[in-house]
Structure 1
């Protein structure tokens, strides 16, 4: 059949293609007898060719805006920033409008924060930037009572407020608020440990102005926790997760109890030492120590990596090593670290 009315040209292209595919070897005449097994050389090459790799399954996740929206479908992201961009594209909004995400709940539940891992059946809720608030705070004690985390995409926010602390007695400031400015200095783009350090360095007795942005209020009270979707039984026990980070590639893996227990414990130590919560950082510390045989080698690994910038004290490094060695030996179990099980 002619191709766009150029039959002769089409034949020439086909003939040229065949000639190119056989270049480098003489062309057998039409009447030449085939090989004794009835198979031409070209047929053998084609049969021995490595079959093309099967395409990787496309992971698809459902999402909604936490204050209320239609359900969106997102896929094709490999890190945290790309995930936030996919959600923004889905709802035709600016990515800077997204403060953080929770899994399987529209509430500002800090135990359900989306961080380094997403279960393959998890439902994502995006919490959108809402009302800004400013309040003056006098640092009458050494500690403000804040635990700070971040979304991996440039926003640090309040994960926990210690009961009876300065910030607990401060009106307007609440869990889930993004810390946008301190004394007029923008903190957008800062990591949580940078914000924690800045707050810690404010002298005792000094009054400072803090500007926070709360998540948009929810109108999703009728939404319940997502259940398993039909056709997902091939996922097995449901422990498979998509591991993502602020940079690098995402990968599907099966969660190991030892790893998750160790990371939970390390996260608790980070919260006590620095007032921050970061599962990616805890995972990085675990990776630095999982193959080490003694605390000295672990301390050297810390000093020779980008973890050195945190300025961990020798005592704190020893505490971290204790958590890692306990986890590897099986002495660390979930019940003993349940208070640190943030699922972040």
Structure 2
């Protein structure tokens, strides 16, 4: 059973146009939604946006050094990158990823779907390009891949004593531009991981990479970077108000608990399963799976929800079963 290709597209229900009564004048057309000021919903308000005109802005710098700017009026990562590119007069495609509250290439501080309202954003952009040829002498390369949500897949973790660990040209934070000549810009992390996994063993392959532009004091030994990346993922903004970015609709203000909940423990376990099964790290995807299982007591219902909501990944049955077991384990610990 293939793991990553979507089996079919979900069918959208068509909306019927209401019949206009002749005696009732047509209402004026609705005004288009504006990005300024930013519309912000609250997760504690089921009835709609709690702060419809809250103006949120964030300090931002280029990680290798720059003046401090402020960005606002964005609803998702792609829009954030465009706001940043406008402030610094760079292309949004040059942005590899962002870290929160550190200019170093620290994978535990990656900006994902959440930003604390007092977080400082550091932007890592294209540095030097490089090309490396590697012999896949073992089934696993020891490489964990993630992406920035805007078309750029990069190296998040390197396993000690692995093939990639013995390849000094590859480092944490490197953008994977191409594999054997195949351009990977716009390719999601799970697709890149699948491509690497399917490379034949005992054969050479070539990767083109772009490393992040680093300040001198941001260059750390590869072992130290790998250790930091393999540490427990931190939830950005724990115990304070955060802005959760969403692909569709306005961002949501959330107040995260000070104590670790069973769902966050379950998400951490599922994130580890994603790495072992697929070679990726994606805490947002892990959160989505946990939310599907949160209020469910029947495995068959959970498996059906996984197929309906996350069918594009076509996870194998054994992976879904392991996710369910991880959720049950975390639920018992509360």
Q: Please give the range of the TM-score, normalised by the shorter of the 2 chains.
A: 0.7 to 0.9
More helix by share: 1
Are positions 1:147 and 2:144 aligned together? yes
Which of residues 89, 92, 111 in structure 2 aligns to 1:92? 89
Which of residues 126, 131, 138 in structure 2 aligns to 1:129? 126
2:188 aligns with 191
Rg larger in structure:
1
Which of residues 314, 323, 326 in structure 2 aligns to 1:323? 326
Are positions 1:249 and 2:246 aligned together? no
Kindly indicate whether the alpha-carbon contact (under 8 Å) linking 1:263 and 1:283 is maintained by their aligned counterparts in 2.
yes
Q: CA deviation at 1:321?
A: 1.1
1:205 aligns with 202
Map Cα deviations across residues 236-276 of structure 1 (whole Å, 9 max, x no partner).
98521111144443111122432332222211111111110
Matched residues, number: 264
- Cα 1:164–1:138 shift into 2, 3 Å: same
- Cα 1:65–1:219 shift into 2, 3 Å: farther
Q: How well do the aligned residues superpose, as a CA RMSD in angstroms? A: 1.9
The TM-score with structure 1 as length reference comes to 0.73
The TM-score with structure 2 as length reference comes to 0.75
Which of residues 305, 315, 318 in structure 2 aligns to 1:312? 315
1:275 aligns with 279
- Cα 1:91–1:219 shift into 2, 3 Å: farther
CA distance in 2, matches of 1:246, 1:186: 24
Kindly indicate whether the alpha-carbon contact (under 8 Å) linking 2:239 and 2:256 is maintained by their aligned counterparts in 1.
no
Secondary structure of 2:165's counterpart equals: helix
Question: Which structure has more RCO (C-alpha within 8 Å, separation ≥ 6)?
Answer: 2
Secondary structure of 1:303's counterpart equals: helix
Higher deviation after alignment, 283-292 or 106-115: 283-292
Which of residues 171, 174, 177 in structure 1 aligns to 2:171? 174
Kindly indicate whether the alpha-carbon contact (under 8 Å) linking 2:75 and 2:247 is maintained by their aligned counterparts in 1.
no
Secondary structure of 2:285's counterpart equals: helix
Which of residues 289, 293, 296 in structure 2 aligns to 1:289? 293
Secondary structure of 2:74's counterpart equals: coil
